[in-house]
Structure 1
Amino acid sequence: MLRLGLTGGIGAGKSEVSRLLAGYGAVLIDSDRIAREVVEPGTPGLAAVVAEFGPGVLRDDGALDRPKLGGIVFGDHDRLRALNAIVHPLVRARSAELESAAGPGSVVVHDVPLLVENGMAALFDLVLVVDATPETQLDRLVRLRGMTETEARERMAAQATREQRRAVADLVIDNDGPLERLEPRVREIWRDLLGRAADTRGPAQATPADNPPDTPGE
């Protein structure tokens, strides 16, 4: 099994890369998605959040009011630490459960937006950074996500710098161009990852299915 940490700045195109890798056959573990799942209604995670922050963080339907909780923890390091102390162990446990279900020779991609910020690079066999210039990020956030320029710049400034991400990268995808240029690069990296994963299980276990498709999802 090969454990890959995938990260990138907001607007760099990390989600598209994770989608392509999953289409090729990677086992995708999305930390953001898991973080939402572990605090869904009826979960011990949500009960712990309510015990810490009070019932005011719930919507009328009993689900977590994320904007309200965000308003409490944003800019308050102690409150944010308290939230992370609840959510992070649950995310780690669920990620480990999903990873343990992957077969020998699998490429397990951990999609972790804050990999650099949380000092997690050493947890993975390799780190893949999806990179784009700040100008490209800003354009995508404003044009495609509907943010104002001020909102976009604030979101970008709250993350690790481009240099900090590239400093921990074993592999980098430069994604300033269109999708047509991204796909061949991801296919190239996928073949490299498969080779590395095969080395972890020995050539006797390799299968014909290890060859990536020419287009994602085929």
Structure 2
Amino acid sequence: MSFILGLTGSIGMGKSATAAIFRRLGVPVHDADAAVHALYRGRAAPLIAAAFPGTVSDGVVDRARLGQAVLGDPARLRQLEAIVHPLVRAEEAAFLQRRSDAPLVVLDVPLLFETGGEARCDAVLVVTAPAAVQAARVLGRNGMTEDKFRAILDKQMPDADKRKRAHFWVDSSRGFDSAEAQVRSILTCLAARPGHGQTLASEN
């Protein structure tokens, strides 16, 4: 059975780049966001079209329209989550089954703590950076405003609280090479845990 490492981090912290490091080192990674995007082009689209008319075009969910349909309406948001979350969990379960021979797998889940996903993991890694670095990264994105940034942060657990609950951190503010060194250190730590006799990652 695989050791399941949850990977999470707030917007702009460098989570996706850290996930890419794990992949490059040979660790299977399941990307929850990518799964949602695929579902919005596939199985979830007709279900969302029925529940939220006008949010699907040519069989693909229009994320902007869907966002407007649930904006400021907790009941509608829960309705959407009731459609999407079971499908995402099914995709995750299928991934774990496919990679059950891997000694380590990573579940890349943006809202891991917020949704109670840490219960499905053996350990959790939080990608972090100073608030000023985070803000500079996010506000530098096309179409991002300070109001949007604050709205996103309001939906996410504060970074300090995530770090308190995590088993490992990666500080992404010191550059890619530093982040990779931190990932390698975590892999070494996990490989050395009692009773573990397999290599967790293969260098490519």
With structure 2 as the length reference, what TM-score do the two structures score? 0.90
Amino-acid identity (%):
36
The answer on whether the counterparts of 1:191 and 1:212 sit within 8 Å (CA) in structure 2 is no
| 2:167 counterpart of 1:142 | no
- Give the letter aligned to residue 23 of structure 1: R
Q: Which runs of 5+ in 1 are unaligned?
A: none
Q: Distance in 1 between matches of 2:184 and 2:162?
A: 22
**1:126 and 1:62, CA in 2 relative to 1: closer, same or farther beyond 3 A?**
same
Distance 2:143 2:115 in 1: 28
Structure 1 residues 94-124: Cα deviation after superposition (integer angstroms, max 9, x where no partner): 1101111114342110000001111221210
* Structure 1 position 163, deviation (Å): 2.1
Question: Is the CA contact (8 Å cut-off) linking 1:11 and 1:138 kept in structure 2?
Answer: yes
| Alpha-carbon distance between aligned partners in 2 of 1:211 and 1:3, rounded to the nearest angstrom | 13
Q: Give the aligned residue type for 1:30.
A: D
Aligned residues: 203
Greater gyration radius: 1
CA distance in 1, matches of 2:195, 2:71: 43
Give me the whole-angstrom Cα distance separating, in 2, the residues matched to 1:86 and 1:53.
11
Look up the equivalent residue of 1:92 and give its one-letter code.
Answer: R
Q: Render the CA deviation track for 1:41-71: whole Å, top value 9, x for unaligned.
A: 4x2x2111111112x1122x33111100001
Alignment of 1:174-189 (within 5 A): 174-189=171-186
1:35 CA drift (Å):
1.2
User: How far apart, CA to CA, are the structure 1 residues paired with 2:150 and 2:135?
Assistant: 7
The question of whether the paired residues in 2 share the 8 Å contact of 1:133 and 1:176 is answered with yes
Matching of residues 34-113 of structure 1 within 5 Å: 34-41=35-42, 43=43, 45-54=44-53, 56-59=54-57, 61-113=58-110
Distance 1:18 1:197 in 2: 25
SS state at 2:5 partner = strand
Letter in 1 for 2:65: K
Corresponding residue for 1:172?
169
Secondary structure of 2:174's match? Answer: coil
Q: How many angstroms does 1:142 deviate by?
A: 2.1
Q: CA deviation at 1:196?
A: 4.4
TM-score w.r.t. structure 1 length?
0.85
- Alpha-carbon shift at residue 78 of structure 1 (Å): 0.4
- Give the alignment of 1:149-168 within 5 angstroms: 149-168=146-165
The answer to whether the Cα contact below 8 Å between 1:107 and 1:197 also exists between their aligned partners in 2 is no
> Quick one: distance in 2 between partners of 1:31 and 1:7?
11
CA contact (8 A) 1:128 1:172 kept: yes
RMSD: 2.0
Gap runs ≥5 in structure 2:
none
Match for 1:46: what amino acid? A
Q: Tell me how far 1:194 sits from its aligned partner.
A: 3.6
SS of residue matched to 1:176 = helix
Hey, what does 2:10 align to over in structure 1? 9
Contact 2:133 2:173 in 1 (8 A): yes
